[in-house]
Amino acid sequence: MASALSASEIIHSRQAEAPGGAAARGLQVEVRDAVVRFGDLTVLRDLELSIPAGQFLAVVGRSGCGKSTLLRLLAGLEQASRGAVSIGGAASAGLRSDVRVMFQDARLLPWKSVLDNVRIGVEGGDRSQALEALELVGLADRAKEWPSVLSGGQRQRVALARALVSNPSLLLLDEPLGALDALTRIEMQQLIERLWLERRFTAVLVTHDVSEAVALADRVVLVENGTISQDITIALARPREKDSGFSHYESSILNRVLGRRPVSVNQDGFAI
Ligand SMILES: Nc1ncnc2c1ncn2[C@@H]1O[C@H](COP(=O)(O)OP(=O)(O)OP(=O)(O)O)[C@@H](O)[C@H]1O
């Protein structure tokens, strides 16, 4: 789980460059030979990762393997003690205005209305842009209310609106749906996929849920022993149907996360 952040870390004050409100182009991300240490603990080691612009990447792995640390490294919230991170061709140097992060808890400011929470995400607190973003997530009619009267799923929609209001080029998602019930989770997955298809930002999703990774990602990487041990392309049409192709990816990735030998079935239908 990501450690607590200050409000200024979560909320970037400048708007991404998106002339005329045009869809932001996704940013290419490169991580080269990265090492992240906390004291004596080496969490990421010799990590190599290249994410093409506009790709939807999911990061899976056992609890504590370093998924959130990798995401924080991409966000500029963590520094590599060795190696390099570049975002859109520029060496990473802390938080950027065109990179946004969404966490498992919505982190809304309770003393601000829903609309004002979204306005925080855009330069000058532009009201109409914030309202548009709330419309995108289906909550424009709740703009004047307090976050406390919203459901958990609605609060995450507001957090998504705040993350997307400035049209970011890289969206980093740290278990954003982890606390939601199954149905709300599926609805949110569909919403995130729709917005990604419309805007084509680069997306990196950290999740414990292999099914969610297969439902959303073009590619799934498995973090193990501080580095990327598996890199799987999900060659399924969108929107994803939960058919046999989906189940194949789901069970194959789950087996790899658990370190299990893949199960084969013989001609009589028995597992071997
Ligand atoms: N700021 C920090 N200081 C010290 N140790 C840290 C810090 N941040 C993370 N760690 C440690 O690094 C390791 C990886 O943490 P991280 O949160 O990246 O794992 P994770 O894979 O996201 O875990 P989970 O799936 O449980 O959320 C853990 O052992 C954690 O305790």
Q: What is the pTM assigned to this prediction?
A: 0.87
Question: To 10 degrees, what angle do helices 127-136 and 152-164 make?
Answer: 130
Query: Which single residue is written with the structure tokens 């952040």?
Result: 5
pLDDT computed for residue 15 by the predictor: 30
Q: Which long-range contacts (CB under 8 A, 24 or more apart) does 115-122 make?
A: 115/143, 115/144, 117/147, 117/158, 117/162, 118/158, 118/161, 118/162, 118/165, 119/165, 120/11, 120/162, 121/11, 121/12, 121/161, 121/162, 121/163, 121/164, 121/165, 121/166, 122/15, 122/165, 122/166
**pLDDT exceeds cutoff 60 at 262:** no
CA of 61 to the centre of ligand 1 (A): 12
Length of the chain: 272
pLDDT at 94 over 80: no
Q: Are 160 and 192 in contact (CB under 8 A)?
A: yes
Q: Name residue, tokens 């414990």.
A: 208
> 69 CB under 6 A from ligand 1?
yes
Across 96-200, the runs of DSSP E, i.e. the strands, are 99-102, 170-174
Query: Rounded CA gap, 136 and 121, in Å?
Result: 15
Q: Kindly provide the ipTM of the predicted complex, given to two decimals.
A: 0.98
Domains of the chain: 21-86+201-260 (3.40.50.300)
How distant is the alpha carbon of residue 105 from its chain centre?
13
Task: Kindly tell me if the per-residue pLDDT of 232 is higher than 90.
Answer: yes
pLDDT value at residue 261: 64
Please compute the mean of the pLDDT values over residues 83-106 and round it to a whole number. Answer: 88
The whole-number pLDDT of residue 265 equals 54
Distance of CA 119 from the midpoint of ligand 1 (Å): 31
Q: Ligand 1 atom closest to Cα of 78?
A: 1
| The pLDDT value given to residue 96 | 83
Residue of 1, 37, 43, 65 with the most ligand 1 atoms within 8 Å of its CB, for mutation: 43
- Region 138-145: mean pLDDT is 96
d(CA 29, CA 88): 6
The pLDDT assigned to 268 comes to: 60
Taking the CA of residue 72 as reference, the ligand 1 atom at the shortest distance is 18
